[in-house]
Structure 1
């Protein structure tokens, strides 16, 4: 009896859904199948769903109704109309079963232990009907989805392509790597060595730089400066080629020794491998002899 109460909502709501989903007949029918079951009983005549509503609302005396006559009329309609949709016939059957259950509750003696509250029973019925409507809505949604093979087509089977190697080479990856390394080695073995050309600072350039900077030094005792300060600005810091920096420092040292020999500057080194210090010599006129330095010193420093 609990399951019979579930499809009640479908009695009224199944008609438009059934009309939408049913396939239209190819040939016109002489008479449309009935979608509302009319019953004629003692004390009531009309649609079956209306009788069920009146019985639930206790507005009709179902004790006077003949369930046997109701079943006979139901079977007669089903036998006479073979084209009745299954869902409509099922709704009619649920209505008739529900009426039979209501009448059985009136005929059977009441049991105080099994008596249920009318409001609780109505609430349970409403909940079941709501659940039924949700299931029907989900079924309609699934029915409206594109179907595979009709609206939606699946991806075809992948092609089984056969790869054929017609190059005639039979080598694996390790052999290919070994051949590549050997080719690189042969290429490096035939390549002649070419040193990287560098722009080395000559002794003449260092002498000109040193004369210009020493001329700006004050003529006073104690004003010693490190020889590295007289290098070009691009070679003073750690940035740059260290070979070019060492060559410039050597050229500046040779130029400083020539100027010290001419009496223009003074050089000193307080510790072994320590910084070389330089200052302007007292008296000042020092550059003429240093400027006349033999040209072979320049070639020696550059070498």
Structure 2
């Protein structure tokens, strides 16, 4: 929506502020302007469109000044002879006031865009004192503190000796025995990692030991001719099966 009120009057077509400027410069006869038609067009714009309140107020002020100026111009000359200001001076004053109003609106908009104290920026509080004051009343130096800590640790360890967590590591011999027992029942190729013990996945260390032992056991049995190993791609799964003496490799 345009922020100017465009008028269509007898003898003038254009915005309201231009009508004021032309009246001030005596380039349009304000006596021929119909104030009633101006008010009707103003009310039609207000009712038809959503106009900002401050913009509608500016239009109303300008229309009121035009109506007042026209009433002054329509008075007989003898009745206006004693007046201090004529219509041209009043129109010039109105133009100056409108310019001052526009400057104030621009200044208000600039101030509104500045950071707000307490909202966008915050003032620094009282300076903080970094001086450390000991109010405990204890007198102790660093060597004494370290000696007391070592003595306390010794007493705690003496009452509760350290016992590492027992681990059951899967050896190569255990893996060879498990492969020998299970590989004879394989009908075809099977992934080597499926021959890990059932309880090897609970502890990460025990699982790594079981994987390493199972791999070494598979290599040892393949070298002895008991089983066959196959790996189709780099870092891919290793497959195992019982070596067939009668048939060739698949």
Q: TM-score range by the shorter chain?
A: 0.3 to 0.5
Task: For CA contacts below 8 A with separation 6 or more, give which structure has more relative contact order.
Answer: 1
Larger Rg: 1
Task: Name the TM-score, length of structure 1 as normaliser.
Answer: 0.36
